[in-house]
């Protein structure tokens, strides 16, 4: 898989809720803090978005998509001067399929989902994104438009299996939004996600993710990137925020942590699968990166309560 698919597969985004609301007239809704990431899109109409600790509100128009990855409270409103109502108020309102109608609806229709990220390393994704990712869906971005249109129909239709289809479409919308951000809407920043927009750095990351057990050297990865070793090392650290070998070691340990949590493989087997010649060498590297031994990590992960999945209005 490619690096973005690798990371999302490792974090296993789960649709905590999916749905939409159709607002009319003057309205303002306050959303509380949350865990994970929220992804919404404006199907019709327009509104304002104000996020906690962010001074400038964002004007959202038809076709706009936005990600909120920083677990802050936020407000959506036709007019930010209005006193907002708590989003819990919406749960007592009539449903049209999976869509809440507020003030009669008709002026602003928004769909989306709230995703939890499994594992203790959600920061590998959330830490690279700004507080608000605002995407304007241009006409040529057919994939995301298709997701929006299809999701809108599924939420209204109440057909058998519609809830599951809506969940999958919300997940697709999240991936498409992150992809579009990487491909053109991201501004200069530091983190692995920004390296994916650089064809040369991305080639090196593809190599590391494609074969993490290989005994990669800086020279080998520089050659994959088509750059000199010195320039490659400098650009990688400037873009990603860590050295090439630090990134590779961290990725291996994230994979190891996932195997310790979600498989029955022994520590020695995982060590060999990730290119370590001995369990001892692997354990030392794991503790250096993760702050505990592999066995301690496995015990902690297996004793944590399982995530509960719920489907409700987004």
Mark which of 158, 185, 212 sits at the end of a domain. Answer: 185
Element (H, E) at 76: strand 74-77
Distance (Å, rounded) from C-alpha 34 to C-alpha 114?
A: 9
The SS3 assignment for 195 reads helix
Q: What is the CATH number of the domain that holds 169?
A: 2.60.120.10
Radius of gyration of the chain (CA): 22
Residues 141 and 78 in one domain: yes
Mark which of 185, 210, 235 sits at the end of a domain. Answer: 185
* Domain tally, the chain: 2
**Do strands 58-60 and 133-136 pair parallel, antiparallel, or not at all (unpaired)?**
unpaired
pLDDT in tens, 87-134: 888 777 666 667 888 888 899 999 988 888 865 667 777 777 888 988
- For residues 179 and 219, the answer to whether their CB atoms sit within 8 Å is no
- For residues 93 and 22, the answer to whether their CB atoms sit within 8 Å is no
Instruction: Provide the token pair at 306.
Output: 């399982």
pLDDT in tens, 145-186: 777 788 888 887 778 887 788 888 888 888 888 888 887 755
Distance (Å, rounded) from C-alpha 152 to C-alpha 110?
A: 9
Contacts of 292 (CB under 8 A, 6+ apart): 300
- For residues 3 and 209, the answer to whether their CB atoms sit within 8 Å is yes
Q: What is the span of the domain harbouring residue 274?
A: 192-302
């Amino acid at each position: 898989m490619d690096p973005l698919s690798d990371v999302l597969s490792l974090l296993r985004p789960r649709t905590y809720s999916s749905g939409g609301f159709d607002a009319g007239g003057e309205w303002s809704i306050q959303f509380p803090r949350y865990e994970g990431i929220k992804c919404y899109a404006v199907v019709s109409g327009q509104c304002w978005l104000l996020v906690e600790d962010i001074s400038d509100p964002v004007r959202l128009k038809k076709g706009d998509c936005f990600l909120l990855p920083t677990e802050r409270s936020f407000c959506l409103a036709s007019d930010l001067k209005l006193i907002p109502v708590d989003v819990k108020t919406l749960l007592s309102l009539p449903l049209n399929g999976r869509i809440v109608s507020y003030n009669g609806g008709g002026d602003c229709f928004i769909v989306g989902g709230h995703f939890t990220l499994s594992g203790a390393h959600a920061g590998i994704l959330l830490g690279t994104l700004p507080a608000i990712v605002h995407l304007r869906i241009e006409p040529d971005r057919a994939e995301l438009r298709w997701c929006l249109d299809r999701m809108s129909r599924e939420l209204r239709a109440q057909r058998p299996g519609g809830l599951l289809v809506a969940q999958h479409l919300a997940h697709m919308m999240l991936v498409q939004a992150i992809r579009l951000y990487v491909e053109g809407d991201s501004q200069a920043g530091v983190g692995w996600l920004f390296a994916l927009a650089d064809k040369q750095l991305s080639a090196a990351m593809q190599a590391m993710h494609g074969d993490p057990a290989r005994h990669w050297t800086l020279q080998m990865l520089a050659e994959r990137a088509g750059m000199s070793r010195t320039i490659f090392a400098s650009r990688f650290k400037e873009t990603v925020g860590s050295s090439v070998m630090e990134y590779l070691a961290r990725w291996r340990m994230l994979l190891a942590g996932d195997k310790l949590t979600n498989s029955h493989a022994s520590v020695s087997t995982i060590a060999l699968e990730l290119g370590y010649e001995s369990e001892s060498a692997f354990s030392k590297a794991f503790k250096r990166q993760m702050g505990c031994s592999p066995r301690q990590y496995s015990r902690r992960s297996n004793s944590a309560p399982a995530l509960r999945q719920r489907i409700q209005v987004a």
